[in-house]
């Protein structure tokens, strides 16, 4: 029998009740020792009474992602009060492939927390030089220089999900 470290791994997507992402992740982590879970989050700016604060917010409400043994049953039985379903293909395969797997790999590489990117101003253009937006540079839809953020589109499970991510403009590269 293969150990978890020797076994081939795969990514999957779990659909859960919006607002219960952390509870769903906690349940899976404790019930299935060989499954890693991330709740994608981002650092956002919030202005209260003229002062700017940072806060952590769920990046994709209602979705969490797993890294599990590829040999796991066709549709893992994660269901509880917070978990609605494991997303799967028509054939019942829970594993993500192609661009979906790349996005989830990207999320795991940042441990699920998408923080600020750094950008450099080149005339009227903004060039992302580090952080998560650099990885998504080809998929940035809009840049809001005043609020120091960019709207990016992520294709995931045959859906385009738009979200705003923060960046910081630096004076020199």
Could you state, in order of their start, the residue ranges of all structural domains in the chain? 7-115, 116-173
Q: What is the dihedral of CA 156, 160, 166, 169, to 10 degrees?
A: 110
pLDDT at 18 over 90: yes
pLDDT digits (tens, 9 = 90+) for 25-70: 999 999 888 999 999 998 887 778 888 888 899 989 999 999 999 9
- Neighbour order of strands in the sheet with 36-38: 36-38, 63-69, 9-16, 83-86
Which whole number is the average pLDDT over 85-99?
86
Q: Which of 24-33, 135-144, 147-156 has the highest mean pLDDT?
A: 24-33
pLDDT at 76 over 80: no
- pTM value? 0.76
Q: How confident is the model at residue 2 (pLDDT cuts 50, 70, 90)?
A: very low
Residue 164, SS3? Answer: strand
* 7-115 CATH fold: Alpha-Beta Plaits (3.30.70)
Which whole number is the average pLDDT over 77-92?
84
Measured distance CA(173)–CA(22) in Å, rounded: 37
């Amino acid at each position: 029998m293969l150990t978890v470290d020797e076994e081939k791994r795969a990514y999957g997507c779990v659909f859960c009740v919006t607002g219960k992402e952390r509870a769903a992740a906690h349940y899976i982590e404790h019930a299935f020792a060989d499954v890693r879970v991330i709740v994608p989050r981002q650092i956002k700016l919030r202005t209260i009474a003229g002062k700017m604060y940072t806060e952590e917010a769920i990046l994709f409400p209602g979705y969490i992602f797993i890294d599990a043994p590829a040999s796991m049953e066709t549709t893992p039985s994660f269901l509880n009060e917070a978990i609605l379903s494991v997303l799967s293909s028509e054939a019942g395969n829970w594993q993500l492939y192609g661009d979906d797997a790349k996005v989830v790999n990207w999320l795991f590489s940042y441990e699920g927390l998408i923080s600020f990117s750094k950008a450099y101003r080149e005339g009227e253009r903004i060039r992302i030089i580090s952080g998560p937006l650099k990885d998504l540079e080809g998929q940035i839809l809009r840049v809001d220089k005043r609020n120091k953020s960019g709207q990016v589109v992520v294709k995931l499970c045959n859906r385009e999900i738009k979200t705003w991510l923060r960046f910081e403009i630096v004076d020199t590269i």
